[in-house]
Amino acid sequence: MEAYAKSGRPFFHQGTPAAAREMMQASLAAAPAPVGLPELADVVNESIEGPIGPIPIRRYTPVGAAVGKAVYFHSGGWVVGTLDHADSVCRRLAAQAGCVLVSVDYRLAPEHPYPQPFEDAYAALLWAAGALPGPLLVVGESAGGNLAAACTIRARDEDGPEIAGQVLAYPATDHDFETASHKEVGGRNWLLSTADMRWFWDHYCPEGIDRNHPWIAPLRVPDASKLPPAFIRVAQLDPLRDEGLAYGRKLVEAGILVDADCDANMLHGYWSAAGLVEAATGAVTEAGNWMRERLHVRAQAY
């Protein structure tokens, strides 16, 4: 937080999407090199076809035999974020889970508002289900967590591919800005604010789009039964904390197996600090272990 303050970094809602993307690229270039990245067998940039056009992806292959695959959606409020921003987390998850992980460079709002980012996400899920062997997981951070959860709902409702589990890191599950966590920390501008989230939502779902649809706000799904088991981690000092935990409770109430927890004193996006911050390293490691276990459980049924 001190480093951000010294850099004079503006808040997302104070500028344009183009300015926000430039700021994110500058932050990535100025950040220290990731610490303790695991060895992988291969990392390859590819492209797949989607309903709107080509979708860039990055495929991470672990050392040794892979048990299944995971599709990952990056953070960034549906407006910013790239494959590079998610690279270190994806490397850690692929290695820890022992699976092939596909990171998806879905289209971004406001140039491509809902449903285009979601259509890209679901198309990538369908591609991975058919093109790669073994059971399937879906993973996402923040807005990517929103897309991941929404994909599981769509897959269930449309008899899509079977998903062995969903990993959601500080997911955006609703557009309610009156939660306790929004009121407690949303005005403090600790890397993400309530004003930022309003800005992101307005770009992703402009006027005329029904934000209550469960493919947009997964927390509003009327029936959460038959959704995949979930691993959910939220940050204590994050405006999105309560909606992530609420989604976990909704799944539990529907009889879904859920591993949910709140990491104390962490900020939104803390998984990117894995290797530097103990709680972040622990959360990503736990996620990878959970992924590995789910894949092995499902692989036994194949």
Active site residue 268: yes
Question: What confidence tens digit (pLDDT) does each residue in 33-69 have?
Answer: 899 999 999 999 999 999 999 999 999 999 999 999 9
pLDDT at residue 191 is higher than 90: no
Active site residue 88: no
pLDDT at residue 10 is higher than 90: no
Q: How close are the terminal C-alpha atoms of the chain, in Å?
A: 47
Query: What CATH number is attached to the domain comprising 241?
Result: 3.40.50.1820
- Regarding pTM above 0.85, the answer is yes
The three-state (H, E, C) secondary structure of the chain, written as one string:
CHHHHHHCCCCHHHCCHHHHHHHHHHHHHHCCCCCCCCCCCEEEEEEEECCCCEEEEEEEECCCCCCCEEEEECCCCCCCCCCCCCHHHHHHHHHHHCCEEEEECCCCCCCCCCCHHHHHHHHHHHHHHHHCCCCEEEEEECHHHHHHHHHHHHHHHCCCCCCCEEEEECCCCCCCCCCHHHHHHCCCCECECHHHHHHHHHHHCCCCCCCCCCCCCHHHCCCCCCCCCEEEEEECCCCCHHHHHHHHHHHHHCCCCEEEEEECCCCCCHHHHCCCCHHHHHHHHHHHHHHHHHHHHHHCCC
Catalytic residue (choose from 238, 242, 263, 272): 238
Catalytic residue (choose from 75, 103, 142, 272): 142
How many CA atoms are closer than 13 Å to the CA of 154, on its beta-carbon side?
Answer: 19
Please work out, in degrees rounded to the nearest 5, the angle formed at the alpha carbon of residue 70 by the alpha carbons of 69 and 75.
160
Q: What is the pLDDT of residue 28?
A: 79
Q: What is the pLDDT of residue 30?
A: 73
Question: What confidence tens digit (pLDDT) does each residue in 124-157 have?
Answer: 999 999 999 999 999 999 999 999 999 999 999 9
Number of domains in the chain: 1
Q: Are 219 and 246 in contact (CB under 8 A)?
A: yes
Q: What is the pLDDT of residue 33?
A: 83
Residue ranges making up the domain that contains 155? 2-299
Q: What is the pLDDT of residue 160?
A: 98
Active site residue 27: no
Other beta carbons within 10 angstroms of residue 297's beta carbon come to: 13
Over range 278-298, report the average pLDDT: 97
**AA identity, residue 212:** N
Task: Write down the mean pLDDT value for the chain.
Answer: 95
pLDDT at residue 23 is higher than 90: no
Q: What is the percent of the chain with per-residue pLDDT over 90, rounded to a whole number?
A: 89
pLDDT at residue 216 is higher than 70: yes
Q: What is the pLDDT of residue 135?
A: 98
Cα–Cα distance for residue pair 239/185, rounded to 1 Å: 6
pLDDT at residue 17 is higher than 80: yes
Residues facing 155 on adjacent strands: none
Residues with Cβ within 8 Å of residue 92, at least 6 apart in sequence: 37, 38, 274, 275, 284, 285, 288
**Residue 5's pLDDT band (cuts 50, 70, 90):** low
pLDDT at residue 197 is higher than 90: yes
Q: What is the pLDDT of residue 77?
A: 98
